[in-house]
A and B are shown apart, each in its own frame.
Chain A
Amino acid sequence: MASRPLFPPSAVDLNREAVLATVSLRRLGKSYGAVEVVKAIDCEINDGEFVVLVGPSGCGKSTTLRMIAGLEPISSGEVRIGERLVNALPPRERDVAMVFQDYALYPHKTVYENMAFSLRMRGTPKDEIRPRVAEAAAMLGIEALLERRPSQLSGGQRQRVAMGRAIVRRPQVFLFDEPLSNLDAKLRGQVRAEIKKLHQTIGTTTVYVTHDQVEAMTMADRIVIMRDGSIEQDGTPDELYNQPASTFVAGFIGAPAMNFVDVTIENGHARLSSGERLPLGPRYGSVATKAEGKAAILGIRPEHFQPAERSSQRLSGTVQIVEPLGSDTLVHLEIAGGTLTARLPPEARPSVGETIEVGIDADKPHLFDVETGRALV
């Protein structure tokens, strides 16, 4: 059945070499009946870029990826790969390769056969298949596994075979669907680095879906944060970390998560419910005056806290929990009726119940609108 493509591709297609492997999502939407899972999103992914779609489960990131792959019919809008409108194309004609969450290795085929399958399906000549599989296997260090079956491999090895199966194709675009979620923490860090290195080597345009912000921050050229089917923010990891567009992004990126405190803006200060006031530095500019007297949300990252002696801006709080991490100490403080987490130097060891003062880098905290959660700066 359908063993040969109707139009076998020529081995070298000169027209296609010049094509830039960009991916454009234009007003892309997906709905199941009345339920909109992806809401007319726009996103341009540049040639060779490593873009991570990140967000909590149910935000529509996987659906978006599957629409790019052709595994999910598109409800509205369009997907273009290298300027080619692919909406109506089946997955096999989109020239993408995908690494699945559970790897989806064919259990009845050996590693070699798994990797060779897509080449065979495309009618690649036999004498070309072997060197290409060998090359991909060498890249991933799985040459020794070629004759094994997936059931004889460890989780990390399977993961690598799944990547091998993708790169052997030399597709225009790599798609990753939470590829690390089935690995243990140690292996995850290792494979993360490998994927990044692989991308640096072969430079293929990559769309990577994960719910893990650490993966997003460490690997991405650009991060697209999704929430309820819409793009919440789109930018480099630094932009997202330093200029979160909303409390959602601010809370999602960074670990431990950003602390949020209800404040009122008064005379260029943020006043906490406890009455303590933090000056708003020059960075906040006109915001401080425009929002005078209004309520706002102050976002303070744990790493914005300092030992009290290093800053003139201080807050005092009751120590609730102390978590020594070795490199730092996390201290949970009760401040103004809420619990805030502060990342302090490793030697900081306050005792529980004690009231201590911590300093704050006054120019760092973020201000958000109370109603919309959007950033005020």
Chain B
Amino acid sequence: MATDSKRTGTIPRHAMAGEGPPPGRWSRLLDPGDTALAVVLLAPAALLLSLVVLYPIGRLVYTSFTDLALTSGAPAAFVGIENYLWMLDDDTFWQTTFNTILITLITVPGALVVGLGMALLANLPFKRKWPVRLSLLIPWALPLSFAGLIFAWFFHSEYGVVNDVLRRLGFEGIIWFNSPRWAMAAICLTIIWKTSSFMALIILAGLQTIPRSLYEAADVDGAGRWRQFIEITLPLLKPAIAVALIFRTITALQTFDIPYMMTRGGPGSSTATLAMYIHQNTVSFLDLGYGSALAVVMFAISMIFTALYLRMIRTRG
């Protein structure tokens, strides 16, 4: 029906015979086996990772056992674990470690609670989805350093919008950045604001994979809204929340930009984080040996959580 034998008769039978390029020795190079191809394809990534991650870590560990300092110009001497011993007596190290942990303990659950709330709100049946989505994406995309600056302005003691609201409500304005406690509070609030939208996006995605039929079944079974939230929503969200939490924890331990922008670690070093202390030792004091030892400690802590993260992802499938 679709074929027209008069026309198709124009193809001579033997013109059908092969027309591919003749196999040549060189073309074999284009057809490596799976393993060889994998090696070739992964090579650029492996090369970059060795240059930027693997070699630096080796280098870092080595440097942490030396007294390398750019101030002296003297060649680095091997000092064994002296840098690490020094750490034990270094109040600033303990202070910044404490601050880092504090920030993690406050902002990770904080971002989770706020993010969960935002996700539940964002999951309502809006006619237009994009404004809500945008309001979750902008905080995510905003550079941490920008967020730090913007919130420093929010918390400005004289002209900041936060104090203005407080005064309008009849409270005293707070001089946020003069008190260790208030400064830390401002930093934590900023971090929670910045990170909760990411949490919300992850949780929102989790919410949208829960089949409606489960809620309909629960309706039939006589469960109220609150019970449905407890019995269906939360358990089904658990995997997504767990992964988001641990990921957030890892990044919280690396907190740098926001406190750096808001307080430079002050007053004193009451809001300085471990990352800031590493930065200070290396970039400002040029004490690379000690900075490296601090970094090794941070690396170790981070690895523990990363291992946890990997395990969680694996069990989640």
Contacts and interface: CB of A to CB of B under 8 A. Distances in A.
Interface of A: 2, 5-9, 13, 16-19, 21, 82, 89-90, 92-95, 122-123, 135, 138-142, 160, 169-172, 190, 193-194, 197-198, 201-204
Nearest to B33: A73
A93 B27 contact: yes
A16 B19 contact: yes
Interface stretch (B10-18, B167-175, B206-214): B10-18
Interface string B4-24: 110111110111111111111
A202 B20 contact: no
Nearest to B12: A17
A8 B2 CA distance: 33
A78 to B, nearest CB: 15
Interface of B: 1-5, 7-11, 13-24, 26-27, 30-31
A17 B9 CA distance: 17
Given A6-B21, A9-B19, A21-B17, 16 more contacts: A8-B21, A9-B22, A13-B19, A18-B14, A18-B17, A82-B17, A90-B30, A139-B2, A139-B4, A141-B3, A170-B16, A170-B19, A194-B2, A197-B3, A201-B3, A202-B8
10 contacts: A6-B21, A18-B17, A19-B17, A90-B30, A93-B20, A93-B21, A135-B11, A171-B16, A172-B17, A203-B13
A124 to B, nearest CB: 8
Main SS of the interface on chain A? loop
B23 A19 contact: no
Nearest to B21: A5
A314 B22 CA distance: 65
A200 B13 CA distance: 11
A197 B5 CA distance: 9
Which secondary structure dominates chain B's binding surface?
loop
A90 B27 CA distance: 10
Residue of B2, B4, B11, B20 with most chain A CB atoms under a 10 A cut-off: B20
Given A135-B11, A201-B8, A201-B9, A95 B3 contact: no
Contact of B18 (A7, A13, A123, A135): A13
Nearest to B1: A194
Contacts of A13: 18-19
Given A135-B10, A194-B2, A201-B5, A17 B19 contact: no
Among B8, B16, B24, max chain A CB count under 10 A is at B16
Contacts of A93: 20-21, 23, 27
Nearest to A2: B30
Report which residue of A123, A139, A141 has the largest number of chain B beta carbons within 10 angstroms of its beta carbon. Answer: A139
Contacts of B8: 135, 138-139, 201-202
A273 B20 CA distance: 62
A16 B26 CA distance: 22
A203 B12 CA distance: 10
Contacts of A16: 17-19
When A and B form their complex, which 5 residue pairs have the shortest distance between CB atoms, in order from nearest?
A141-B2, A5-B21, A95-B18, A95-B20, A90-B31
A141 B1 contact: yes
A19 B31 CA distance: 26
B16 A202 contact: yes
Contacts of A6: 21, 24, 26-27
Given A170-B16, A202-B16, A135 B7 contact: yes
A122 B15 contact: no
A171 B20 CA distance: 8
Contacts of A197: 3
Contacts of A171: 16, 18-19
Contact of B7 (A9, A139, A203): A139
Nearest to B14: A17
A166 to B, nearest CB: 12
Given A139-B3, A202-B8, A202-B11, A7 B16 contact: no
B16 A172 contact: yes
B2 A160 contact: yes
A18 B2 CA distance: 30
A7 B3 contact: no
A190 B22 CA distance: 38
Contacts of B30: 2, 90
Contacts of A172: 16-18
A92 to B, nearest CB: 7
Interface centre among B4, B11, B15, B17 (most CB of A within 10 A): B17
B3 A194 contact: yes
Contact of B20 (A92, A140, A198): A92
A20 B3 CA distance: 25
Contacts of B3: 139-141, 194, 197-198, 201
B19 A7 contact: no
A309 to B, nearest CB: 43
Contacts of A139: 2-4, 7-8
A7 B9 CA distance: 30
Contacts of B31: 90
A171 B19 CA distance: 7
A214 to B, nearest CB: 20
A197 B45 CA distance: 52
A17 B22 CA distance: 14
A160 B22 CA distance: 29
A168 B7 CA distance: 14
Nearest to B13: A203
A156 to B, nearest CB: 10
A332 B159 CA distance: 93
A8 B20 CA distance: 8
A171 B15 CA distance: 9
Contacts of A9: 19-22
B16 to A, nearest CB: 5
Contacts of B13: 202-203
Contacts of B11: 135, 170, 202
A138 B6 CA distance: 11
B227 to A, nearest CB: 45
A140 B4 CA distance: 8
Nearest to A94: B20
Nearest to B23: A93
Contact of A204 (B2, B9, B16): B16
A124 B189 CA distance: 66
A92 B15 CA distance: 18
